[in-house]
Homo-oligomer: A and B are copies of this chain.
Amino acid sequence: MTDDSWLKSSIMAKRGLAKGHAGRRHELTIEKQGSFHYVYGPYAKPALTIDPGDVVVVETEDAFGGVITSEKDSPTAKLKFPFLNPQCGPIAVNGIGKGHCLAVHILAVETRGAQPAGKTCIIPEFGGLVGTASTALLNPPLPERVRVMHVDKDGVRWSDKITLPYQPFIGTIGVSPEIEAISSLQPDYHGGNMDLPDVAPGAILYFPVHVNDGFLYLGDCHAAQGDGELSGVAIEQRATVTMQIDVIKDWSFAWPRLETREFVMTIGSARPLEDAARIAYRELVRWMSADYGFDEIDAYMLLSQAGRMRLGNMVDPKYTMGASILKKYLTS
């Protein structure tokens, strides 16, 4: 049992419309969702409409659309681009629009479905240590390989000898751009396929909103993942996600933000990887300057000594990094 007392002093509780109080509870089941989405955009109809403060329980499909079920499956044969990484939603939030902030407090990410519930694989021309569609090379690809494994809250059974801790998170979550429809395989300023392990139960996400009703999408839950999601594939699982959603009026910024008990984080996605880091750190400098009283140069200097950087993915169309600083230092 974690101590949630910090939540009362979170930005969401202090500045959100619901003031930290939970509203109604909604369920967005696979059946209710119907067809999935493969882009983050404004051209879809809401699968669910809620009020600020409401709690939503969402059943997500895995990133493969459920088609990889056995170690004998061929990813190349089963996966049909661009219909990968199916997303639930969009969830419309009443009363939110451009210039406001959508807050998402992740309460739980639980494994769903039959065992072996965890899947991972090698997909040719995709991943961090192989030639890809962008890093376009002539080398022969790696062979395909699929691993399926038992996953529950006690761990991920990688092999007879190795059990990894169950450290689930939401691989893909975000809001609709204003006019673009961005592939669910890509992370960007709207969130999306960030594959950042900090997007986990206990954290609060803050997204800048670009369209009326915000249009929250999510999917692609992982049971475990290393920094960088090196092969391009984590321990993929179907999941049940529980989250509280709120609205902060008139809080506008450029890239997704995240808060935990201990730290605040800004998330950047770009190529090359240093641009993801630059975006994340510059956003953090600007946040420290806007909300915590730092002069920008002082913030820059303090982050040089106390900033932390988490590598999310180095495999998606843009790479993702999260820059953070402990809240205890946020006093200028």
Residues of A within 8 A of B (CB): 38-39, 41, 43, 82, 120, 122, 127-131, 133-143, 145, 147, 156, 158, 161-162, 164, 178-183, 224-235, 254, 268, 270-275, 277-279, 281-283, 285, 296-297, 300-309, 311, 314, 319, 329, 331-332
Nearest Cβ in chain B — how far from A8, in angstroms?
23
A314-B277 in contact (CB<8A): yes
Task: Report the bound CA distance from A332 to B160 in whole Å.
Answer: 9
Nearest B residue (CB) for A120:
B301
Nearest Cβ in chain B — how far from A86, in angstroms?
12
Nearest Cβ in chain B — how far from A151, in angstroms?
11
Nearest B residue (CB) for A299:
B138
Do A131 and B131 form a contact, CB below 8 Å, given A301-B231, A302-B158?
A: yes
Do A139 and B139 form a contact, CB below 8 Å, given A156-B305, A277-B228?
A: yes
Q: Report chain B residues within 8 Å CB of A229.
A: 304
A274 partner, pick from B41, B140, B179, B273, beta carbons under 8 A: B273
A135-B304 in contact (CB<8A): no
A-B contact pairs, 25 of them (CB 8 A): A39-B180, A122-B300, A128-B277, A129-B136, A129-B138, A129-B282, A130-B138, A134-B275, A135-B135, A138-B282, A138-B285, A139-B141, A142-B300, A156-B305, A158-B305, A162-B329, A179-B181, A226-B304, A227-B308, A230-B304, A231-B301, A232-B304, A271-B272, A273-B274, A274-B319
Nearest Cβ in chain B — how far from A313, in angstroms?
10
Nearest Cβ in chain B — how far from A249, in angstroms?
22
Q: A128-B274, A271-B272 are in contact. List 7 more A-B contacts (CB 8 A).
A: A129-B300, A130-B137, A131-B137, A228-B281, A228-B304, A229-B304, A273-B274
B136-A282 in contact (CB<8A): yes
Nearest Cβ in chain B — how far from A104, in angstroms?
24
Task: Report the bound CA distance from A120 to B302 in whole Å.
Answer: 10
Task: Report the bound CA distance from A285 to B137 in whole Å.
Answer: 10
Task: Report the bound CA distance from A231 to B145 in whole Å.
Answer: 30
Q: Report chain B residues within 8 Å CB of A307.
A: 226-228, 230
Task: Report the bound CA distance from A303 to B164 in whole Å.
Answer: 11
Indicate the member of A38, A309, A331 with the most B CB atoms within 10 Å: A309
